[in-house]
Chain A
Amino acid sequence: MNFPILSSLILLPTVGALFLFFTKDKEGNNSTAKYVALFTTIVNFLISIYLWISFDQSTSNFQFIEDRTWIEGFINYKVGVDGISILFIILTTFITPLCIISVNNSVKNRLRDFLIAILIMESFMIGVFCALDLVVFYLFFEAGLIPMFLIIGIWGGPKRVYSAFKFFLYTLLGSVLMLVAIISIYWITGTTDVIQLYELGIDAKYQNLLWLAFFSSFAVKTPMWPVHTWLPDAHVEAPTAGSVLLAAILLKMAGYGFIRFSLGLFPVASEVFTPLIYTLSVIAIIFTSFIALMQEDMKKLIAYSSVAHMGFVTLGIFTLQQQGIEGSIIQMISHGLVSAALFLCVGVVYDRMHSRMINSYGGIVTIIPKYSILFMLFTLAALGLPGTSGFIGEFLILMGAFKDNFLVAVIASLGVILGAAYMLWLYKRVVFGKLVNEDLKKMFDLNRSEYLILSFLAVPTLFFGFYPDPLINTIEVSVTDLINMHNSNIASK
């Protein structure tokens, strides 16, 4: 395969952004800019689908590899995909066009600049998921801070400056230690090429510190308890499209990083630190679920639920069982779809009523029925009802956890109940009940674009809930290989 398909996936959004730069920036509804952005991202989505189709599921080797010298004798620009990364790439290319359709209402000024930021963000996110060199990965991982900082800071809510700073500095602080670790790895092994590092292995005596350095970065980004506090702030202040990107894709970078780097490069340390991850994950699941129960702000509630869900993900990854890791990946994909949808749902009512407070709603089921149905679907998916993609993920994770550590699995299962509690209670308070607020009567139901976006998200949520095989087939071989590699590394140490 000669065509550099991955590089074109990475570059295309940036090229689109460059084009946008030359369109006129009109106040209000800037449709040219939107069509250019939409066109770019849809083409990108189609390319990624083509990538999935031509991807060979029977092997765990990295495919579509591009390897070019970048800094002489030091770093190569190396990208490639395996079964794990390909799903995240598709998630990214799938969510981004939906974000762009959704900006109609949430972004009032400087639409063109907003779209440029989103497109550049997409480039970086795809880059993260296909980087096969640690430095290249770091570069994309960090670079994403710039557009996201602007998205929150320029188009966000009243406390946007505080949130943007908190987001940026927290993440940067986490990441610099990872940079130290990456350079140290180069110093120890002489390469930053991930595939080579998989083969070489890193000396066990260095692994613990390196693992911790990577952990500091991923833990902030996941986010794990107790470094999760930037997330609710960022979510609440970001415009809808920003929240969607943040929840659906940005958080997944860390989960992906855990699988690809923490497990793959530091098997011994991963074993050592499993209790730490278990503890933090379980605290995240239980503690943030309780916090979510108490929230008055819809966006905050969903943000905390994200923390809890990501707690499941980290738990699943470090069970080091086939089911656990597969479950985590599916949970991440599912959370990508569902949390995106939930934030969009909040965005829909916010655009009409300009309030995110739960108590300013109630009884809207009769006024906007279409919305209520779709919102219900995603609520149920978020709490992991069988038949939705959320169930598959949680089920597999808990299965993996039961195999590895019974106690942890039991406590984590409580999180499922709590999850059901806060999601259903949210739904009840917003949609059912008495119509107290008379203003709500003026609300109109989903318009065409909102309906379109939410349906687009509903289809895969339901489809993969009933038939998760396409996902599992894609990742299975890669995960098996990862676990085998892990076990053989442990055995040899």
Chain B
Amino acid sequence: MENLNLVLPEIFISLSIMFLLVLGVFKKNSSKIIFNLSLFAILITAIITINETFSVSRETLFNESVVIDTMSSLMKIITLIGGFLVLVISSSYLKTFKIYNIEYPVLILSSILGMMVMISSNDLIVFYMGLELQSLALYVLATYNRDQLKSSEAGLKYFVLSALSSGLLLYGCSLVYGFSGSTNFDVISNQLNSNEYVLTFGIVFILVGLAFKISAVPFHMWAPDVYEGSPTTVTLFFTMVPKIAALTVFIRFLYVPFLNLIDQWQMIIIFLSIASMVFGAVAAIGQTNIKRLIAYSSIGHIGYTLAGLATASNEGIQSSIIYISIYVVMNLALFSCLLMLRRKDQYYENIEDLSGLSKNHPLLSLCLLVILFSLAGIPPLAGFFAKFYVFKAVLEQSMFFLAIVGLLSTVVAAFYYLRIIKIIYFDKEKDKYDTDHSIWLKFSLTVSTILILLYFIFPSQLIEVVSRINII
């Protein structure tokens, strides 16, 4: 009998989903209970993950199709924390739109389960199952506010394009299977010496599929529309949580089965990275809707994350993981602010709505100031360190071109972050926004802002955790 303890988190969360669904269907008006119970379930899952799996250095299960190692545990925990926080700050938003239903937490839990499977996968089929479970839940979440045209449109767009990318991915997987004779990452890795060039096709298709999922340029087209159309809390979920899982899969794909083919894929990743950094920076300039702007900025940030991956070194991978972790915190903070722009049950999401915010809401503006400067990568805020680690890893591999393009695009990106700061601080004020926010919203904003602001005092802690990840 295999050591099922190691997949206990997945088992627990699956059982919780079924239980919550049944409870929700049979018990009337149970939204609140379901919300609280699902929070509880995520919490328990996180605790189990920390307890059971964090001590394991590397274990495989089910004919080596599932792998539990430090990276998977860490990424699962970040995913769970992200999911938890999204869920707690969603309630008031959902209530406003009268979509405070039992399906929401269940869908979030299902997509988290899918991500956890993806993160742990060591086999093409297991990976694909996780991916589809995650995606299906996300399609529904995107269109969750179905009475609004934009939300339905977002869900449809996301569904069509994501299905297309899944198709490409699957085609790539089948090519890889065809040429290597196995779906297991470790086996593929051992088989790779003979048919290298033919396999390149498979890798390219898989990379295209994955690039779709993380919205790297040139496969980013869906992101701004979907982000804009989805309910804000779902957008928050999109920008944070699936990216963690997709990044993990990216790392695993590139560095376990295809490490020997590094010459074939390195240029692709560098291209994706540069294109995303530059495009994300330039295209964000003209945006007027904050959610669209965040979509472009997240494209840019994915570019930086990929820059770390392109280095083909452990430091690079670690720097990418640090980057995405810090990015998750910054994003959470930014969206918490966005969810506070509410006046009489109406949410505002145009950049113009922030005009002169600093006069009426000095504290909220200060938080935004910190967050935006951090996103722009200005020291001593956390965002600077994220970029710093990535570029340190990049430069250690003498990839000067990538580093210089990346840093120059931060200057361009700084422009549009500054523009928001300008609107908040330099422009004329508008009416006050409501201030009766839920305690959780205030909590998440305060904690994440303080983390961003004071990260520089204890920068070593995060590195210490991440440095245990040694894939290569």
Contacts and interface: CB of A to CB of B under 8 A. Distances in A.
Contact of B373 (A25, A70, A146): A146
B378 interface: yes
Contacts of B362: 25, 113
Interface stretch (B229-237, B268-276, B343-351, B392-400): B392-400
A172 B384 CA distance: 13
Task: Point out which of A69, A71, A160 has the most chain B C-beta atoms below 10 A from its C-beta.
Answer: A71
Interface string A135-173: 100111011011001100110000011001100110011
Nearest to B396: A187
A72 B378 CA distance: 22
A180 B422 contact: no
A168 B414 contact: yes
A165 B415 contact: yes
Given A145-B378, A187-B395, A161 B411 contact: no
Interface residues of A, number: 34
Interface string B331-350: 00000000000000000000
Given A71-B460, A146-B373, A160-B426, A176 B407 contact: yes
Given A169-B415, A183-B391, A150 B425 contact: yes
B218 interface: no
A165 B418 contact: yes
Nearest to A185: B395
Interface residues of B, number: 31
Contact of A153 (B373, B425, B464): B425
Contacts of A140: 379
Nearest to A153: B426
Interface residues of A, dominant DSSP: helix
A290 interface: no
A179 B391 contact: yes
Given A154-B426, A165-B415, A139 B407 contact: no
Given A169-B414, A179-B391, A153 B407 contact: no
Interface in A187-203: 187
Given A146-B373, A160-B426, A180 B407 contact: yes
Task: Point out which of B398, B425, B456, B463 has the most chain A C-beta atoms below 10 A from its C-beta.
Answer: B425
Nearest to A181: B395
Interface of B: 362, 373, 378-380, 384, 388, 391-392, 395-396, 398, 400, 403-404, 407-408, 410-411, 414-415, 418, 421-422, 425-426, 456, 459-460, 463-464
Shortest Cβ-Cβ A-B pairs, 6 listed: A176-B407, A139-B379, A183-B395, A72-B460, A142-B379, A173-B411
Interface of A: 25, 69-72, 113, 135, 138-140, 142-143, 145-146, 149-150, 153-154, 160-161, 164-165, 168-169, 172-173, 176-177, 179-180, 183-184, 186-187
Given A176-B410, A186-B392, 19 more contacts: A25-B362, A72-B460, A138-B379, A139-B380, A139-B456, A142-B378, A142-B379, A143-B380, A146-B373, A160-B426, A165-B422, A169-B411, A172-B414, A179-B407, A180-B391, A180-B395, A183-B395, A183-B403, A184-B395
